[in-house]
Structure 1
Amino acid sequence: MTPRNSPITRRGWVLFAVMSLVWGITYLFIKEAVATFSPAAVASGRTLLAGIILLPFAIRSGALRQAWRYWPWILAFGAVEMAGPFLLLSHAETTMPSGLTGLLVATVPLFAVIIALFRGDRTALTPIRLGGLLLGFIGVAVVVASPGLIELTAGSSIAIGEIMLTALLYAIAPFIIAHKLADVPSIGTITLALLTVGILYLPLGIATQHQVPTTRSIVSLVLLAIVCTALAFLAFFALIREVGPVRAPLFTYVNPVVAVALGAVILSEPITPGLILGFPLVLAGCWFAATGGKLRRTEPDLTTGPVTTVETAEALLADTATDTDTTTTDKH
C-alpha cells in the first residue's frame, strides 16, 4: 500500500479515473435497464449476477466461509447497502433523470453528519461542518426546484424521497461494517450479501416483469452487474492498495459529474441554470460536512465513542486492504 503522504502514482490516478467512471455510469445503466425491466428485476439481476461473478474469488480466499459465521449482520448490511438502495434507485429512475439521481445520491455525507450528531459526535458541531450541511441541502433545494429539470408532481416527489432515503441508507451502512463486521473479509461480506439479496428479490422480479426486455435494457443490466457492481468492487480493492484507505474514497466526489454529463450527452437530459448553480453547492457542502475542510484525518478508535461515516469508511477500507493482503499470504 502506498504510504499516506506519498504522491499518488500513475496507476493510482488511472484507478481513480476508472472508479469515477464505473460508479458514475451506474445511473445511466439503471435508467436504460428500467426502460423494459421492472425495478425488482433490475435489483435481482444486478445483485445475483454480480454475486455469482465474485463467488469463486470469495470461495478461493476462504472469505465466504468466514462470512457465514456473521450471517445475521451480513443480512442487515445487505438490506441497508443493497436491497433497499438498489430497488429504490431502480424505481426512482423510472421517472427521474439519471444525472439528477447521481447528484442527489451524492448527499450521503450530509446524512452521515446528521447520524453522527444523533450518536453524540461533538466534532460534527464545528461551524465548518454544520455550514457544509446547510450548504449541501440548500444546493439540493436549488437543483430540485430548478425550472425545466423535472416537473414536481406526486410521482416525482416520491422518486426524490426514494433517492434521499437511498442516501440515508448508504450513510448507515458503514456503521454496521465498522462495529459488527470489522473482522470479516470484505469480499466475503459483499459476495454473501449480493447473493442473498439477488435470490430473495428473484421471485418478486419474475412476478413484476410483464414485458419482453429490449436488447438495450438487457445489455445495460448485464453491464450494471458486471462492470458497476462486481468488477467495481475488485477495482476499488486495487485502488485501496495503491493509494491507501484515506484517499481512496475521494473519487466519489467525481461520480455526480460523470452521471450528469452522461445523462446530458447520451440521454439528452436537460442542464438547467438551477442545476449549474446547485451542483457545486451540493458537492462543496458534502465536502465540508464530511471532512471539515481537511483532506487528512487521524485514524479513529472504533472501540471508544462515536465515529463519523468518513472515519468508519476509512476503517472499513483499511480492513479491506488488510483482508486482501491476508488472503494473498494464505494462498501461498
Structure 2
Amino acid sequence: MKTPLVREHDALVDLILLLILSALWGASYALIRIGVATIPPITLIAARTLIAGSILLGWMIFKGISMPRDPAVWRRFFVQAMLNSVVPFTLIAWAERSVEAGLATILNSASPVLAFLGTWLITRHESVTPRKLFGVTAGLVGICLVVGTTAFHGLGNQLLAQLAIVAATVCYAGAALYGRSFKGLPAAAPAAGSLLVGAVLLVPASVFVDKPWTLHPSNHSLLALIALSVFSTALAFLIYFRLVQTLGPVGTTAQAYLRVPIGVAIGVGFLGETLAPSAWLGLVCVVAGVAAMTIPSRRRSPLRI
C-alpha cells in the first residue's frame, strides 16, 4: 500500500506531465496550421502518424519492450487509432483551414465534458464526484472567458468545418474512455500500436488522394511536420497513455482546458500581449477546474443524480 507521501509525489508527477501534455498538444494547432499551408491534410496526418509511430517503435526496440502479438490487442489498437488519431487528426487539419482559432479552441475544449458524461452514463468505471462536476463546469466557463465571448460570433458561419471539430472532440473523449482497456500494457505499446495502425490506414489514402510525390511543401511546413510528429505526437502519446491509467479519462482530458492558458501565457510572456479582466477570471476558473478534476481527494463520494 502506498503511503500518503508517495501518493502526493505521484499526484505531483501526474500534474507536471499533464502540463507538459497540454503544452505539446496546445502547440499542435499552430503546427498544423503551418503544415496544411502547403501539405494537404490527409498527407500531413499520414506522415505525422507514420513518423511518430516509427519513432515510438524504435524507442521500444531500444528499451527492449516487446510489442503485443495478440490479435485481440491489435483490434483494440485499431479502435484507438480511429478515435485518437485517424479521424480527429484529419478532421481538425481539414477544419483549421477555415475555422478561427478562438472558436476552434472552445469547440475542441469540450472533451472533458464529454468524457465526464461518458464516465457517468456509459462506462461507470470510476467514481463521478461532485468535485469533478464542478471541475468540468468551471473549466469550460473559464475557457469561454479566456478566449472571449466574441469568438462565438462566428458560430455557424463555417458550419461543416465547425461540426468536424465537434466530431473530433467526441472522438477524443471516446479515446480517453477506451484507453482504459490497455491497462497492464506499457504506455509505449498502445501509443506506438495505434499510431502505426493509423499510418497503415492513412498512407494509402494519401497516395490515392494527394499523390504526395507531386507536392512541393515549404521548409516551414516540413519543419512543422517534424515538430508535430516528434513532440506533439510521439512524446505526447507516451504521456497520454500513462495519464489515462493514473488520472483516468476525465482527469486526462483536463489538458484540453490547460492548452488555452498555456497559449495565453506564451503570448503575454513573449509577444507582449495583454489580457482583459474577464480573461484573468477565466484563468482562475480553468486552474480551479483542472485542480478539481485531477488532484485526488482523501475521500470520494459518488455523484448521485
User: What pairs up with 1:1-332 in 2 under 5 angstroms?
Assistant: 3-6=6-9, 18-60=20-62, 61-66=64-69, 69-98=72-101, 100-119=103-122, 121=124, 124=128, 126=130, 129-130=132-133, 133=136, 146-147=149-150, 151-155=154-158, 157-178=159-180, 180-206=181-207, 207-208=209-210, 211-234=215-238, 245-246=246-247, 249=252, 252=255, 253-260=257-264, 276=279, 279-280=282-283, 283=286, 287=290, 291=293, 295-297=295-297
CA distance in 1, matches of 2:140, 2:15: 30
CA distance in 1, matches of 2:288, 2:111: 11
Cα distance 1:31–1:249, how it changes in 2: closer, same or farther (>3 A)? same
1:130-162 deviation line (CA, Å, top 9, x unaligned): 45555555566778883367634542x333322
Percentage of identical aligned residues: 22
CA distance in 2, matches of 1:164, 1:49: 26
1:177-236 deviation line (CA, Å, top 9, x unaligned): 32x322333212211211111121112223236752211111101110012111334566
Cα distance 1:201–1:282, how it changes in 2: closer, same or farther (>3 A)? farther
1:45-91 deviation line (CA, Å, top 9, x unaligned): 11000011111223453431346551111111111111111112111
CA contact (8 A) 1:23 1:228 kept: yes
Whichever residue aligns with residue 205 of structure 1, its letter is S
Cα distance 1:228–1:189, how it changes in 2: closer, same or farther (>3 A)? same
CA distance in 2, matches of 1:199, 1:267: 40
CA deviation after TM superposition for structure 1 residue 256, in Å: 2.0
Q: How many residues align?
A: 289
CA contact (8 A) 1:136 1:283 kept: yes
Cα distance 1:134–1:223, how it changes in 2: closer, same or farther (>3 A)? closer
Cα distance 1:149–1:262, how it changes in 2: closer, same or farther (>3 A)? farther
Give the TM-score taking structure 1 as reference length: 0.67
Cα distance 1:192–1:265, how it changes in 2: closer, same or farther (>3 A)? same
CA distance in 2, matches of 1:246, 1:131: 17
Which structure 1 segments of 5+ residues have no match?
307-332
